[in-house]
Structure 1
Amino acid sequence: MGGACSRKRVQQIDEDNLHRGFSGRYCKSGSSKWLGNSFSRSLSDVKQGIRESPSLMVLCTSKICEEISRYGSFSMMPRDISQLIFDELVYSQRLNNVILEAFRDCALQDLNLGEYPGFNDSWMDVIASQGSSLLTVDFTGSDVTDAGLSHLRDCKSLQALNFNYCDHISDQGLERITGFSKLTTLSFRRNNIITAQGMSALSGLVNLVRLDLERCPKIHGGLLHLKGLTKLESLNINCCNCITDADMKPLQGLANLKGLQISSSKVTDYGVTFLKALHNLQLLNMEGCPVTTACLESLSALGALLYLNLSRCNLTDDGCDKFSRLQNLKVLNLGFNEISDCILVYLKGVTNLESLNLDSCRIRDDGLVNLAGLNRLKCLELSDTEVGSSGLRHLSGLSNLGSLNLSFTIVTDGGLRKLSGLSSLKSLNLDARQITDTGLAALTSLTGLTHLDLFGARITDSGTKYLKCFKNLRSLEICGGWLTDAGVKNIKDLTSLTLLNLSQNSHLTDRSMEAVSGLTKLVSLNVSNSRVTSAGLKHLKSLKNLKSLTLESCKVTASDIKKLQSTDLPNLVNFRPE
């Protein structure tokens, strides 16, 4: 029965997030959850008229979901089909406690019920009826309590449990999962109840590979109970301000640990000394910790280290020579530290670097010469530095550079000509008032750009004619206030756009809405602070993929948008005003 619903049940370290600086955010709201949910979209895509020929199974499953009230039980149906029906009902938010009863004893494997309305203890009996077939359950944001977890006692094959944002799970709930010896993934993000004492229940989960305790403020001292979890590879205790140096000592025996996240904790240079024994550590996130450059003495012993985040720490130039020992680093985030060009001298030998974040550091033009030899560099963040046009000549040889952020620098139009040879560049951020039409003209050779941020740049209607050179753009932001409807006409042919931000352009009218009506791939549109009115909304009816629409400070009301949503834009889940 296997393949139709097969998928990876547990995620490895998310390198995409690492390249963005380890910034993982989660908002406990229905709209944001469903905007980015991970369930299969195949059935819903069929309903939206996507032209791929649907399979017979998809058509039948869709029909069953439409007539779900006619079915009393799916227990005799093949598991793969029952799983498809269940997933579609969850995605379309048609599942309730009455319909759920039809899935009793169906041997389902994966119940992705995170943030699902009405999910509470009354559902647990049916969930538990899946028995030894049940492998993963996502309880995120539910009202399930400690008592509800007692129903799971016979689900001995469970491999992954997610209790993020579950406000009713306490130490007693932890005790009720102690018997799940096959559990490899466990997450309790943002739990204000579980304590260090309750964490003793984790000591028996000897097969645990991934543990997430982000934003759990009462676990100080509880990491002692992890000492025997020798298979643990990933531990996330970000934003636990109760964590101190003493909590690092029990970790030194976790020889298989590959990922450790302790951002915004109270760990100092002394606490980092306990990490020297973690020779397999590949990822270390210490953003916002009170460490200094002295911690590099300990970190230099971590020969496998690939990803290091020291953003918002207390780093200075003193001692930064030790960065040269971290030869295998691929991703390094040093943003918002009191470091200068000195750091670049020692990084020029770290030739494996693929991503470097120097946001808000004291970096100047002359220091960039040390980046010239970093040929593997793919992502460079120089936002809010003292870099100007002269320094950009040192970047011209970075043939693999795919993402460059020069926002809030002193780069001018003339300097942008030095970027013309960066043929691999996909993403460019130029949020700066001194950039004008002339600078945009200098970039027209960068035809591979997919993301262009000109948020505060002074781009006029005349300058928008250069946008026609960027046929691959998927994201465009021009918010300097200089555009009129005439300029938006030059955007209408960028048919690959999924995100368009034209906010702050106060002269735009309903005619601009007509101009973008052909951009049918748009998922997000922002035309705030313009002259758009409710009458202009009719032009958006063709944007069937639109999920986010922002028209704040326009002559448009929430009821106007809701009417458009109900009649023509069923996928719209986030809109302003609301």
Structure 2
Amino acid sequence: MMGGACSRKRDQQVNEDSGNRGIYGRYCKSGSSKWLGNSISRLAVDNKQGKTKCPSLMELCIYKIREDIDKYSSFSMLPRDISQQIFNELVYSQCLTEVSLGAFRDCALQDLDLGEYPGLEDSWMDVISSQELSLLSVDLSGSDVTDSGLIHLKNCTNLQAMNFNYSDQISDHGLEHISGLSNLATLSFRRNNQITAQGLSVLSGLVNLLKLDLERCPGIHGGLVHLKGLTKLESLNIKCCNCITDADMKPLSGLTNLKELQISSSKVSDYGVTFLKGLHKLSLLNMEGCPITAACLDCLAGLTNLETLNLDSCRIDDEGLVNLTGLQRLRCLELSDTEVGSNGLRHLAGLTSLVSINLSFTVVTDSGLKKLAGLASLTSLNLDARQITDAGLASLTSLTGLMHLDLFGARITDSGTNYLKNFKNLRSLEICGGGLTDAGVKNIKDLSSLTVLNLSQNNNLTDKTLELISGLTQLVSLNVSNSRITTAGLQHLRSLKNLKSLNLDSCKVTAYDIEKLQSTDLPNLVSFRPE
């Protein structure tokens, strides 16, 4: 999120309620299963921009079928790949109804992605289950399907992936109906208040499970013991389950194939972390917000395959970072909102594989940033902290590969922006500490790769700023809220044809002004403030 107050706390890994549904996403058997909907949407965009694109014969046929869907009673005689594409298009365009779904009975469809589809309930399940052994993946997230509806899936024994996120009408009884689906590799019940530790006993028979997502399931404490036999499990997400304690970590100690473990916002402490010492295949460990201290980090020293480590909002200080020196494969490190300071950064100097570091809301000062100067692989750096100034930015000029630089609350002035000239590859930049004027923006105008620019809270910026950045034609998102920009300055945005998001809150600009600009010059603008 961009704009708002001068300091903000952001979860950079997962926005749980956004379109990005976490590390698993929605299962897709092949990259081709959603091509049709995307191609038609691209066609619409092309037409809107005045381009001409000749659709394929298949596109035209399927689009026509969608328009006349009420005329068809069955697609079972069509080749499976054709009926799958018709189904995908109906879902994409939200033209699928319970009646039209009936035409897909016995069509041997493989992938039914109906996540958050309106009106989906138990009465749809008979047709869904008629795909039987052909059905490989089904997403019923956010639906009104109940425990009774899951009975229909018992004969779909080749199912490999099932997604029931945000489906709070499914309880332990519903889990019983999927106990025989031993081919399942991916299972997700994110944000479910009905599933309990007892219900998880059903999972013990799913011996081929590779990915399990139980994020925001508050009743599962004590149930992880039923995972002990799932030795193939590679990914487990139990983040935001504040019922999880140290005792729940013990059953995980034998899951030696685990590569991804998310336990953020749980009650796991230093003692619980000791049970992770033997999980040598871990490449991702998310402990954000857990009550752990620097003392537990010695347990991580042997996890040499770690590539992503999230210690955001943990009780970590400089002392514990010495245990990270052996993690030579570490690529992403989150230390936001910890007590890490300049002295601790010396332990990171040898982690030359690092591509992303978040030091926002830490006590790191300008002098400490000199210790990062040798991390040539860095592409993303978050320094949202008030004590960072121009001097700190000067220490980083050797990091010419930076693509994302967050100085949201840092005290950067016009003078400091001179150092930005070293970062020719920047794609996103945030400087919102209030110290910029139009003179400083002159050093930003030549960063031609920028797609995201946030200069909010700099209340001395004027229309001249918009004139200066008018050459940044790759911009997709622009935030210059809380400034002195007026309606007269909007003319300089006409060249930013790729702009999708524009924030001019608390400026002398109205929604009508922006809408007028959108209609005449910014065809891709879909989000703007004021609105």
Q: Which category of TM-score, normalised to the shorter sequence, fits these structures?
A: 0.7 to 0.9
CA pair 457-88 structure 1, distance change in 2 beyond 3 A: farther
Decide whether aligned partners of structure 1 residues 229 and 392 sit closer, same or farther in structure 2, where only a CA change above 3 A counts.
closer
1:462 is aligned to 439
Tell me which amino acid in the other structure corresponds to 1:107: A
Task: Judge which range, 420-429 or 303-312, deviates more.
Answer: 303-312
| TM-score between both structures, scaled by the size of structure 2 | 0.87
The residue aligned with 2:85 is 84
Residues 388-416 of structure 1, C-alpha deviation per residue, up to 9 Å, x if partnerless? 44444443332222112222242333443
CA distance in 1, matches of 2:295, 2:516: 61
C-alpha distance after superposition, 1:227-277 (max 9, x if no partner): 222222222212222222332232233232222222222233333333334
Give the structure-1-normalised TM-score: 0.80
Report the number of matched residues. Answer: 504
Task: Verify: 1:312 aligned to 2:313, yes or no.
Answer: yes
Aligned to 2:470: 492
CA-to-aligned-CA distance 1:104-137 (integer Å, 9 cap, x gap):
2221111111111111112112211222111111
CA distance in 1, matches of 2:209, 2:320: 38
The corresponding residue for 2:4 is none
Residue of structure 1 equivalent to 2:525: 546
Mapped to 2, the partners of 1:124 and 1:300 lie a distance apart of 49
Q: 2:45 aligns with which of 29, 43, 48?
A: 48
The equivalent residue for 1:515 is 492
Which stretch shows the higher mean deviation, 181-190 or 284-293? Answer: 284-293
2:454 aligned with 1:477: yes
- What letter is aligned with 2:39? S
| Distance 1:512-1:177 versus aligned 2 partners, 3 A rule | farther
Residue range with higher mean Cα deviation, 304-313 or 153-162: 304-313
**1:98 lines up with 2:88 in the alignment:** no
What is the correspondence of 1:276-425 to structure 2 with a 5 Å cutoff? 276-314=277-315, 337=316, 339-340=317-318, 342-343=319-320, 347-348=324-325, 350-365=327-342, 368-425=345-402
Summarize deviations over 1:361-420 as a string: whole Å, max 9, x none. 445555545544433322222223344444444433322221122222423334433333
Identical columns (%): 54
In structure 2, what is the Cα distance between the partners aligned to 1:281 and 1:534?
Answer: 49
SS at match of 2:46: coil
Query: Match of 1:65?
Result: 66
Structure 2 unaligned segments of length 5 or more: list them: 1-9, 29-33
Distance in 2 between residues matched to 1:304 and 1:420, nearest whole Å: 30
Over 3 Å counting, the alpha-carbon distance change for 1:358 and 1:218 in structure 2 is closer
Is structure 2 residue 424 aligned with structure 1 residue 447?
yes
Output the CA distance in 2 between the equivalents of 1:433 and 1:279: 38
Partner of 1:317: none
Counterpart of 2:405 in structure 1 is 428
Q: Secondary structure of the residue that 2:116 maps to in structure 1?
A: coil
Deviation digits for residues 473-505 of structure 1, max 9, x if unmatched? 010001112222222122222111111112112
Give the match's secondary structure for 1:463: helix
Q: Distance in 1 between matches of 2:496 and 2:71?
A: 40
2:276 counterpart residue number: 275
Q: Report Cα offsets for 1:58-106 as digits up to 9, x if no partner.
A: 3332333233334333222222222222222222222222222222222
Distance in 2, Cα, partners of 1:243 & 1:364? 30
The answer for the alignment partner of 1:151 in structure 2 is 152
In 1, Cα distance between the equivalents of 2:380 and 2:303? 28
Tell me how far 1:452 sits from its aligned partner: 0.6
The AA in structure 2 aligned to 1:403 is: S
- Give the corresponding residue for 1:329: none
Moved more, 388-397 or 69-78: 388-397
Give the whole-Å Cα distance in 2 for the aligned partners of 1:294 and 1:535.
57
Q: Within 5 Å, give how 1:212-231 maps onto structure 2.
A: 212-231=213-232
Shift of 1:53: 5.2
Q: What is the identity, as a one-letter code, of the residue corresponding to 2:461?
A: L
Q: Distance in 2 between matches of 1:445 and 1:308?
A: 28
Tell me which residue corresponds to 2:7: none
- Correspondence list, 1:114-133, <5 A: 114-133=115-134
Distance 1:343 1:242, change over 3 A: closer
Q: What is the root-mean-square deviation in Å for CA atoms of aligned residues?
A: 2.7
Report the Cα distance in structure 2 between the residues aligned to 1:391 and 1:293, rounded to whole angstroms: 19
Change (3 A) 1:78 1:517: farther
Aligned-partner Cα distance in 2 for 1:32–1:345: 34
Summarize the Cα distance change of 1:407–1:515 in structure 2 as closer, same or farther, 3 Å threshold.
same
Structure number with the bigger relative contact order (C-alpha 8 A, sep ≥ 6) is 2
Confirm or deny: 8 A CA contact 2:301 2:324 kept in the other structure: no
Quickly say closer, same or farther: Cα 1:220–1:385, change in 2 above 3 A. Answer: closer
Matched residue, 2:205: 204
Instruction: State the SS of the aligned residue for 1:311.
Output: coil
Corresponding position of 1:108: 109
> Whole-Å Cα distance in 2 between the matches of residues 309 and 211 of structure 1?
19
Cα distance change on mapping 1:155 and 1:443 into 2, 3 Å: same
Structure 2 residue identity aligned to 1:486: K
Inter-partner Cα distance in structure 2 for 1:22 and 1:432: 16
User: Aligned letter for 1:103?
Assistant: F
CA contact (8 A) 2:311 2:334 kept: no
Q: Helix, strand or coil for the counterpart of 1:107?
A: coil
- When residues 100 and 170 of structure 1 are mapped into structure 2, their CA distance, relative to the original with a 3 A threshold, is same
What SS does the corresponding residue of 1:437 show, helix, strand or coil?
A: coil
Q: Say if 2:306 and 2:329, in contact at 8 Å, map to a contact too.
A: no
In 2 relative to 1, CA 118–432 (structure 1 residues): closer, same or farther, beyond 3 Å? same
Find the counterpart in structure 2 of residue 17 from structure 1. none
Stretch of structure 1 that moved more, 380-389 or 71-80: 380-389
| Structure 1 stretches lacking a partner, 5+ long | 1-19, 315-336, 552-576
